[in-house]
Amino acid sequence: MGFATDAVHAGQKPDPTTGSVSVPIYQTSTYEMEGLGESKGWNYARTINPTRTALELNLAALEQGVRALAFASGMAAVNAVFSMLKAGDHVVVSQNVYGGTFRLVDGILKNFAVDFTFLDTTDLRNVEAAMKPATRMVFIETPHNPVMTLTDIAGCAALCRKRGARLVVDNTFMSPYWQNPIPLGADLVVHSTTKYLNGHSDSVGGVVVAAREEDGERLHFIQKSAGAILSPFDSWLVLRGVKTLALRMERHEESARKIAAFLAAVPQVRKVNYPGLPSHPQHALAKKQARGFGGMISFDLGGYGEAKAFLDNLTLCALAESLGGVETLISHSASMTHASVPPEERRRIGVTDGLVRLSVGIEDVEDLIEDLSKGFAAVERGSVATGSAPSRRT
């Protein structure tokens, strides 16, 4: 079946009791047994829930994996993946991963005798050079947040296979509509369902999709043991969101392409980062490993003052963390999503004080361009505050 068909139907047979076309929200904690030693296969809702199972079957199909496990947040999904490690293991991580992934490693997992190396995975030679006998996992996110550079998924997969390490890809930015890491050789795919999969900015959740049954089994063990499950209602919301994923992603990208072309011609914009622009240094890789370029753009306005003048003068684009919703969201990476990354580390990974990240929504693109134009006019008027990005302790 095609992607849009699977998005609507995979894992979602009409409810056997009533024929309900929409998978019901099974709001229950437990299930009555038919007799001692006889159950219908459902025992306790931390372990298994029909609404969650429907979502898991659906997302496994969309990512071309064998099993999916849904978690209470994207970070709970990432934490479940890292829970597959043992003391003494070494992990290579993209230096531009989601700020929360960096915080999880730096603030918590470092205490558990697992060794992490953060590096620039745009160059596979760095990945190869960092791999040690103890390397059990390579964790990448591509495109990289928020600089929109790429990592070669198939190239990483080949390196991992040689060394017996798992390749994990956080595919949140692209969604399975544009990019499927498993056919490229990845072992596990992670999503924050909070973003494009749910798509309506009204649920927080995460998923891990496994390419192999044994990893799926282990992840289910971790899911039921640690208990960070997605609720029945959130599972239902994501199922509902995914039905329109194909339509939404087409619109996100169509508008993103137009906006990227617009931004490239704005004098106040120093640099536009969008893999769909032929000027993007990895445009060829983007075309090779994905079916499209997605709806995320970042651009540099030069400094914190310019970024503030710009952002403070927008009315339609919402100044907010997060991405992937139907509404356009815009953020200042240094003071928002990457506030927990130390300033010197931010500079090293290209998160400059003038960098603005745009998650293009599905509104009329003319309205979005008009709104952005108001921001640029404010920068031009020189209503520029001074100073640098404030740091936030989290």
Contact flag: residue 75 with ligand PLP (CB under 6 A): yes
Q: Which of residues 136-165 bind ligand PLP (CB under 6 A)?
A: 141, 145
Are the C-beta atoms of 280 and 273 separated by less than 8 Å?
Answer: yes
Q: Which residue number places its CB atom closest to ligand PLP?
A: 74
Token pair belonging to 316: 């339609």
Select from 192, 223, 331, 333 the one that contacts ligand PLP (CB under 6 A): 192
User: Least distance (Å) from ligand PLP to the CB of residue 187?
Assistant: 17
Measure the CA dihedral 292/245/151/191, to 10°: 180
Choices 4-12, 71-79, 111-119, 371-379 (CB under 6 A): range interacting with ligand PLP: 71-79
**Phi, psi of 72, rounded to the nearest 5 degrees:** -65, -20
Contact flag: residue 121 with ligand PLP (CB under 6 A): no
Identify which of residues 172 and 313 has a Cβ nearer to ligand PLP in the complex: 172
Choices 189-197, 217-225, 254-262, 361-369 (CB under 6 A): range interacting with ligand PLP: 189-197
Active site residue 371: no
Select from 149, 194, 198, 359 the one that contacts ligand PLP (CB under 6 A): 194
Contact flag: residue 56 with ligand PLP (CB under 6 A): no
Residue type present at position 38 = E
Select from 26, 82, 98, 310 the one that contacts ligand PLP (CB under 6 A): 98
Contact flag: residue 100 with ligand PLP (CB under 6 A): yes
Q: Measured between alpha carbons, how far is 49 from 57 in angstroms, rounded to an integer?
A: 12
Catalytic position from the list 15, 31, 46, 120: 46
Alpha-helical runs (H) found in the chain: 3-9, 50-62, 74-82, 99-107, 124-130, 153-163, 175-178, 213-226, 232-242, 245-264, 283-289, 304-312, 343-348, 365-380
Contact flag: residue 170 with ligand PLP (CB under 6 A): yes
Active site residue 170: yes
Identify which of residues 92 and 131 has a Cβ nearer to ligand PLP in the complex: 92
Q: Measured between alpha carbons, how far is 40 from 28 in angstroms, rounded to an integer?
A: 15
Alpha-helical runs (H) found in 87-167: 99-107, 124-130, 153-163
Choices 69-77, 218-226, 285-293, 338-346 (CB under 6 A): range interacting with ligand PLP: 69-77
Radius of gyration of the chain (CA): 21
Token pair belonging to 228: 């960070």
Active site residue 46: yes
Q: Measured between alpha carbons, how far is 173 from 256 in angstroms, rounded to an integer?
A: 13
Q: Measured between alpha carbons, how far is 11 from 4 in angstroms, rounded to an integer?
A: 13
- How many residues bind ligand PLP (CB under 6 A)? The answer is 15
Contact flag: residue 172 with ligand PLP (CB under 6 A): yes
Q: Measured between alpha carbons, how far is 294 from 259 in angstroms, rounded to an integer?
A: 12
Catalytic position from the list 52, 195, 308, 357: 195
Q: Measured between alpha carbons, how far is 82 from 91 in angstroms, rounded to an integer?
A: 9
**Phi, psi of 198, rounded to the nearest 5 degrees:** -75, -50
Choices 67-75, 111-119, 245-253, 349-357 (CB under 6 A): range interacting with ligand PLP: 67-75
Q: Which of residues 195-234 bind ligand PLP (CB under 6 A)?
A: 195, 204, 206
Active site residue 195: yes
Pairing status of strand 115-119 against strand 318-319: unpaired
Select from 11, 74, 276, 292 the one that contacts ligand PLP (CB under 6 A): 74
Active site residues: 46, 98, 170, 195
Q: Catalog residues that contact ligand PLP under the rule CB under 6 A.
A: 73-75, 98, 100, 141, 145, 170, 172-173, 192, 194-195, 204, 206
